[in-house]
Amino acid sequence: MKILRLRFENINALKNAWLLDFTQAPFDTNGLFAITGATGAGKTSILDAICLALYHETPRIKVSASQNQLMTRFSANCMAEVEFEVKGQVYRAFWSQKRARNKADGNLLAPVAQLSLLNSDHVNADDTSGIIIAEKLKEVKAKIAQITGLNFARFTKSMMLSQGEFAAFLNAEANDRAQLLEQLTGTEIYGELSKQVFENHKAAEKSLQLLQAQAQGVSLLTEDEFVTLQEQVVAYEQTSEQIALEQVSFTTVKSWQLLKAAQSKLLTQIDALSAQNQQVQQQVITSQSVIDEHLIVQEQQQAQFQLIENKLIDDIIPLDSDIVHITAQLNNLAQQVDSQAKTLKITQEKQQKTQAQKQLLSAEISQIQSYLTENQALMSVKEKLPLWDNQVSQLAQLKTTVAAKKQQLVSADKLTERYIIKQNQQQKSLKDNQQQRQTLQQQTTALAIQHKQLLAQYSPLLHQIALEPVNGEITTDALNAKVHNAQNQQANYSQALQFSKRYGRLLLEQEKLVSQKQQFTSELTTCGQQLMDLRQQFTVLKQQKRDVETLIAQQQTIMALSDHRAKLQAEQACPLCGSLEHPAISQYQAINLDEHQQRLHTVTAELEQLELQGKELGKHESQLTSTLQVNKETTQTIAIEQAELLTNFAQLALPESLNLALPNIEKTQQTYNINLLQVEQLNQLYAGVSQSNQQSLATKQQLQQVTQTLDKAQHQAALIAEKLKFSQLDNAEQIKVLNQLQLDVSQIETMLLEDITLMQISRFLTKDSNNPDFFNSSIWLEELDQQVTLFTQTSAKLVPLSTHSSTVDKEDVLLIEQDKQVTAHLATLTQQSITLNKQLQSKTKLRVTLFFDMGYIDTDSQSADFIRKNIKEAQLSLKDKLITLQAIHQTDEAQSQQLLGQEKRAKEQLNDIKIEIEQADKLVTLSVEKSHGDLQELQVSDLSMLDEKLKISTEKLKQIQLQIGKLQQAINADKQNKMKQQGLLIQITDEQTALDDLAYLTRLIGSADGAKFRKFAQGLTLNHLVYLANEQLNKLDGRYQLQCQPNETLSLSVLDTWQGDSVRDTKTLSGGESFLVSLALALALSDLVSSKTSIDSLFLDEGFGTLDNDTLEIALDALDNLNATGKMIGIISHVEALKERIAVQIKVEKQSGLGVSCLDKQFAV
- To the nearest 10 degrees (0 to 180), the angle between helices 317-374 and 779-853 is 160
Calculate the alpha carbon distances from 249 to 235, 259, 924 in Å. 22, 15, 6
Residue 828 lies in a domain: no
Contacts of 653 (CB under 8 A, 6+ apart): 492
> C-alpha 711: how far from its chain's center?
67
Element holding 1102 (H helix, E strand): none
Burial 1113-1141 (b: 16+ CB within 10 A, else e): ebbbebbeebbeeebbbbbbbebebbbeb
Distance, CA of 676 to CA of 189 (rounded, Å): 63
Lowest model confidence (mean pLDDT) among 220-234, 299-313, 1151-1165: 299-313
CATH of residue 542: 1.10.287.1490
Could you tell me which of 964, 966, 954 has the C-alpha nearest to residue 235?
A: 964
Question: Dihedral of the CA atoms 8, 10, 14, 18 (nearest 10)?
Answer: 30
Distance, CA of 1123 to CA of 1115 (rounded, Å): 12
- Tell me the average pLDDT across 531-557: 79
Q: What is the DSSP string of 67-135?
A: --SSBPTT-SEEEEEEEEEETTEEEEEEEEEEBGGG-TTSPBPPPEEEEEEPPTT---TT---SEEEE-
Tell me the Ramachandran region of residue 1019: left when phi exceeds 0, alpha when psi lies from -120 to 50, beta otherwise: alpha
pLDDT at 856 over 60: yes
Amino acid 874: pLDDT: 77
pLDDT at 25 over 70: yes
CATH of residue 1151: 3.40.50.300
Amino acid 494: pLDDT: 81
Distance, CA of 958 to CA of 968 (rounded, Å): 15
Distance, CA of 164 to CA of 66 (rounded, Å): 27
Residue 517 lies in a domain: yes
Amino acid 1121: pLDDT: 77
Distance, CA of 118 to CA of 129 (rounded, Å): 7
Lowest model confidence (mean pLDDT) among 15-19, 277-281, 1075-1079: 277-281
pLDDT at 475 over 80: no
Amino acid 81: pLDDT: 95
Amino acid identity of 972? Answer: N
Q: Name the domain boundary from 916, 931, 946.
A: 931
> C-alpha 133: how far from its chain's center?
24
Whether the Cβ atoms of residue 1115 and residue 1143 lie closer than 8 Å to each other: no
> C-alpha 66: how far from its chain's center?
39
Distance, CA of 264 to CA of 772 (rounded, Å): 142
- Tell me the average pLDDT across 106-118: 91
In this structure, the answer to whether residues 164 and 73 fall within a common structural domain is no
Residue 755 lies in a domain: no
In this structure, the answer to whether residues 231 and 354 fall within a common structural domain is yes
Burial 410-432 (b: 16+ CB within 10 A, else e): eeeeeebeebeebeeebeebeee
**With the C-alpha atoms ordered 388, 391, 397, 398, is the resulting torsion angle positive or negative?**
negative
pLDDT at 415 over 70: yes
pLDDT tens readout for residues 935-983: 566 666 676 777 777 788 788 888 888 888 888 888 888 888 888 888 8
Amino acid 571: pLDDT: 64
Amino acid 581: pLDDT: 67
In this structure, the answer to whether residues 1068 and 1137 fall within a common structural domain is no
- Tell me the average pLDDT across 1123-1129: 81
Amino acid identity of 1097? Answer: S
In this structure, the answer to whether residues 119 and 79 fall within a common structural domain is yes
Amino acid 661: pLDDT: 80
Amino acid 236: pLDDT: 81
Amino acid 133: pLDDT: 92
**Most confident segment among 79-93, 249-263, 420-434, 778-792:** 79-93
Q: Name the domain boundary from 1092, 1121, 1150.
A: 1092
Burial 498-516 (b: 16+ CB within 10 A, else e): ebbebbeebeeeeeeeeeb
Q: Which residue has the higher pLDDT, 890 or 592?
A: 890
Could you tell me which of 87, 112, 3 has the C-alpha nearest to residue 50?
A: 3
pLDDT tens readout for residues 629-659: 888 888 888 888 888 888 888 777 777 777 7
Contacts of 263 (CB under 8 A, 6+ apart): 910, 913, 914, 917
Lowest model confidence (mean pLDDT) among 27-41, 85-99, 1043-1057: 1043-1057
pLDDT at 488 over 70: yes
Distance, CA of 399 to CA of 415 (rounded, Å): 24
- Tell me the average pLDDT across 1078-1101: 75
Burial 607-629 (b: 16+ CB within 10 A, else e): beebeeebeebeebbeebeebbe
pLDDT at 885 over 60: yes
- Tell me the average pLDDT across 185-201: 83
641: containing domain: 480-566+591-658
The percent of residues above 70 in pLDDT, for the chain, comes to: 85
Give the global pTM. Answer: 0.38
3-state secondary structure of 234: helix
Q: Name the domain boundary from 931, 958, 984.
A: 931
In this structure, the answer to whether residues 539 and 610 fall within a common structural domain is yes
In this structure, the answer to whether residues 75 and 167 fall within a common structural domain is no
Strand partners, 1098: 1129
Amino acid 295: pLDDT: 78
Whether the Cβ atoms of residue 476 and residue 1153 lie closer than 8 Å to each other: yes
Mean of all residue pLDDT scores within the chain: 78
Amino acid 566: pLDDT: 64
Amino acid 134: pLDDT: 92
Lowest model confidence (mean pLDDT) among 115-124, 132-141, 737-746, 821-830: 115-124
Q: In a 10 Å sphere around its CB, with 0-12 CB exposed, 13-18 middle and 19+ buried, how is residue 956 labelled?
A: middle
**Most confident segment among 111-120, 316-325, 485-494, 1086-1095:** 111-120
- Tell me the average pLDDT across 1015-1032: 83
Amino acid 893: pLDDT: 66
pLDDT tens readout for residues 568-584: 666 666 665 666 666 65
pLDDT tens readout for residues 592-604: 556 777 878 888 8
Could you tell me the pLDDT band of residue 930, with boundaries at 50, 70 and 90?
low
Could you tell me the pLDDT band of residue 382, with boundaries at 50, 70 and 90?
low
Residue 558 CB neighbour total at 10 angstroms? 14
Lowest model confidence (mean pLDDT) among 356-365, 763-772, 1144-1153: 763-772
Amino acid 141: pLDDT: 92
Distance, CA of 1081 to CA of 1024 (rounded, Å): 11
Could you tell me the pLDDT band of residue 1057, with boundaries at 50, 70 and 90?
confident
pLDDT tens readout for residues 336-361: 888 878 887 888 788 788 878 777 87
Residue 638 CB neighbour total at 10 angstroms? 16
Whether the Cβ atoms of residue 392 and residue 775 lie closer than 8 Å to each other: yes
Whether the Cβ atoms of residue 35 and residue 43 lie closer than 8 Å to each other: yes
**With the C-alpha atoms ordered 58, 60, 64, 70, is the resulting torsion angle positive or negative?**
negative
Lowest model confidence (mean pLDDT) among 149-153, 591-595, 707-711, 1064-1068: 591-595
In this structure, the answer to whether residues 140 and 274 fall within a common structural domain is no
Residue 55 lies in a domain: yes
Residue 252 lies in a domain: yes
Distance, CA of 269 to CA of 723 (rounded, Å): 155
Residue 167 lies in a domain: yes
The β-bridge relationship of strands 1157-1158 and 1062-1065 is unpaired
The percent of residues above 90 in pLDDT, for the chain, comes to: 5
In this structure, the answer to whether residues 359 and 269 fall within a common structural domain is yes
Q: What is the DSSP string of 813-845?
A: HHHHHHHHHHHHHHHHHHHHHHHHHHHHHHHHH
Distance, CA of 73 to CA of 1155 (rounded, Å): 9
Amino acid 812: pLDDT: 75
- Tell me the average pLDDT across 920-927: 70
Whether the Cβ atoms of residue 1105 and residue 1136 lie closer than 8 Å to each other: no
Residue 1058 lies in a domain: yes
In this structure, the answer to whether residues 105 and 176 fall within a common structural domain is no
- Tell me the average pLDDT across 816-826: 78
Q: Which residue has the higher pLDDT, 561 or 785?
A: 785
Strand partners, 1097: 1128
Residue 520 lies in a domain: yes
In this structure, the answer to whether residues 135 and 172 fall within a common structural domain is no
DSSP state of 16: E
Amino acid 840: pLDDT: 78
In this structure, the answer to whether residues 276 and 143 fall within a common structural domain is no
The β-bridge relationship of strands 160-161 and 131-134 is unpaired
Amino acid 356: pLDDT: 81
Amino acid 707: pLDDT: 80
In this structure, the answer to whether residues 501 and 562 fall within a common structural domain is yes
- For the chain, how many structural domains are there in total? 4
Q: What separation, in Å, do the N-terminal and C-terminal C-alpha atoms of the chain show? A: 25
